[in-house]
Amino acid sequence: MKVLKTLLVFGLMAPAPMLAASSTDIKATGSAPTFCNISNDGGAIAMAISGEGDKLSGDGKFSFVANGNAKVLLSAIDLIAPNGAAEAIPSIDLEGLVVNKSASAEAASQPSGGVIRKQGAISAAITQNNSARLLTAGDYAVNATATCTSL
């Protein structure tokens, strides 16, 4: 009985350590996977001829989201032109991210670190590259793939 009283007295005199001990009961952990995504928000873009007849151009919209290190790659541009068309150069510009003007090489953005949510314009163009400074009449198409990579 004497021992029990002693323990009770000690317990009442030292409440702080007892409370502190109970505060470690809650523990929460989690892991968020890194990811990125990129979208062409407008589908296919219609390109219209310029007044000078030297350029086809059109605009669209894209979104880019990443929660860690990521890069965006724009593939080499596949240009489809009328048979026998005079030389022309395709280009695709993802505003503030990456530009490609090549039918044979890909282009890469600077790596983005941390979190990023970006929306911008897609500018597509086919520009004459010949001495007459004109695009041959007919139908043109430009195809490419934008790839975001979560690192």
* Binding site residues, another protein, CB under 8 A: 30-41, 43-49, 53, 56, 58, 60, 62-63, 65, 71, 73, 92, 108, 111, 117, 119, 122, 124, 126, 135-151
Least Å distance, CB 149 to another protein, is: 4
> Residue 40 or residue 102: which is nearer to another protein going by CB?
40
Q: Classify residue 10 by its DSSP letter.
A: H
Least Å distance, CB 136 to another protein, is: 7
Q: Classify residue 111 by its DSSP letter.
A: P
> Residue 6 or residue 34: which is nearer to another protein going by CB?
34
Least Å distance, CB 122 to another protein, is: 6
> Residue 17 or residue 84: which is nearer to another protein going by CB?
84
> Residue 45 or residue 99: which is nearer to another protein going by CB?
45
Least Å distance, CB 124 to another protein, is: 4
CB 112 within 8 A of CB 149: no
Q: Classify residue 112 by its DSSP letter.
A: B
Q: Which residues contact 149 (CB under 8 A, 6 or more apart)?
A: 36, 70, 71, 72, 73
CB 85 within 8 A of CB 136: yes
Looking from the CA of 107 toward its CB, the CA atoms found within 13 Å total: 15
Q: How far apart are CA 100 and CA 74, in angstroms?
A: 7
